[in-house]
Chain A
């Protein structure tokens, strides 16, 4: 079973494009309560398990743990408390992936020798697992690359589409659901 710790980015961004089902390739996702609070402002987190087909749990990360984790992180990274709580939880649980669209969180994940993955990777996993077909993947990318964060900036849309087109042309996925 693939386990992940997630911050608010992928949950919010994939909700906005109606693709929580893409989380279906993960067996279990853990969130810090600080992240759950943020996500609930934008999306119905209580419906996540039903829509995504993936178990979800929220874990308390006390402020003292946030502060001690922050003191070990590179100071040049701009991180909110919810980001640091995610990093702390990832250290504690040792998941297969830490899901984030934030590049500073991604740097921190790498610095603690864990594997980051953003919304694009989640969509690719869903495609590979047959949860999305090539046309749905293409539409999702069109709708996802509209954000002000650099990872999902419109400037990267054509770059990502080119790379995805190469891979999906090589490894066709004819049985996938739309």
Chain B
């Protein structure tokens, strides 16, 4: 997590390098951050069975949902295989 000094340093760097004003940059950062949080939370909710497959696909894409399903199945398989050695 960034502290206030770190945020100021990054914001100053970005305003200098891009020529965009602070408000525009902060609004873009908020958008990007929210999008990442949205995706991450959707993945976690799908893994925990709190949202349906259909809803997960609408947020994450069919391909990503299939990857998550495969990983979940792999972990379940490994736990069972290891335990029943």
Contacts and interface: CB of A to CB of B under 8 A. Distances in A.
B81 A129 contact: no
Contacts of A128: 82-85
Interface string A100-136: 0001001100000001111011111111110000000
| Chain A, interface residues (CB within 8 Å), range | 20 to 34
A156 B72 contact: yes
A80 B73 CA distance: 23
A156 B75 contact: yes
Interface string B39-83: 010011001100000000000000000011011101111110111
Majority DSSP secondary structure for residues of A touching B? helix
Contacts of B83: 124-125, 127-128, 167, 171
Given A159-B47, A163-B76, A150 B68 contact: yes
| Main SS at interface, chain B | helix
B79 A121 contact: yes
Contacts of B40: 155
Interface residues of B, number: 21
A42 to B, nearest CB: 22
Interface string A130-158: 00000000000000000000110101101
Nearest to B41: A155
B44 A121 contact: no
A107 B77 CA distance: 13
Interface of A: 25, 103, 106-107, 115-118, 120-129, 150-151, 153, 155-156, 158-160, 163-164, 167, 171
23 contacts: A103-B67, A106-B74, A107-B70, A116-B74, A117-B78, A118-B74, A120-B75, A120-B82, A121-B82, A124-B79, A124-B81, A124-B82, A124-B85, A125-B85, A127-B83, A128-B82, A129-B85, A155-B43, A156-B47, A159-B48, A167-B79, A167-B83, A171-B83
Given A125-B83, A156-B72, 4 more contacts: A103-B67, A121-B81, A127-B82, A160-B75
